[in-house]
Copies of this chain bind each other. A is one copy, B any other.
Amino acid sequence: MLGNLKRCIVIEVHSSNRIEVSPIGVVHRQGPDEDINDRSLVSKIVIDEEYADGLPGIEDWSHLHVIFWMDRISEEKKTLLCRGNEPDMPTVGIFATRAPVRPNPIGLTLVELVRREGNVFVVKGLDALDGTPVLDVKPYPYWVKGSWIVVTKYRVPAYLRKINK
């Protein structure tokens, strides 16, 4: 899909504030029929050669936050209101959900780093489709002033407390 953008000339009026980002790599999956929500499945992140020098040391971390661009979300699918799939789920604002049909279809998933093979990460638990552009990879957890930031006490909506544990 992104291939369409290659080597074309774009003339446009920036009527609002926009930002340009370049993917640093791409997701490779075993097959198109995989259940991306199966967190036991392994997939690969292939980092572009031009960014490979940014990788050494990442194998000292067991977990990574992967930030990706959900490029199969068309403009028509995007919405500001969303209702969950389960029965009795209310309609809420898109920013109160993780639904991909959001204004900027940015994905964020915490994965386990199985191993690094050169410029390829083998990861477990990534819920991104085959071919998804990756924008950034960050180690987990992060730290501020000598403390790891790991939040284990949190409040969630009642309608989700009923279906998750």
Instruction: Report the copy number of this chain in the oligomer.
Output: 2
Q: How far is the CA of A94 from the CA of B137 in the complex (A)?
A: 9
Q: Please, which residues of chain B bring their CB within 8 A of the CB of A81?
A: 53-54
Number of chain A interface residues as a range: 35 or more
Q: Please, which residues of chain B bring their CB within 8 A of the CB of A23?
A: 17, 19
Q: Please, which residues of chain B bring their CB within 8 A of the CB of A133?
A: 17, 19
Taking the closest CB of chain B, its distance from the CB of A133, in whole angstroms, is: 7
Q: How far is the CA of A16 from the CA of B23 in the complex (A)?
A: 9
Name A residues whose Cβ lies closer than 8 Å to a Cβ of B. 2-3, 5-24, 37-39, 47, 51, 53-58, 60-63, 65, 67, 69, 71, 80-81, 90, 92-98, 102-104, 106, 108-110, 127, 133, 135-152, 154-158, 160, 163-165
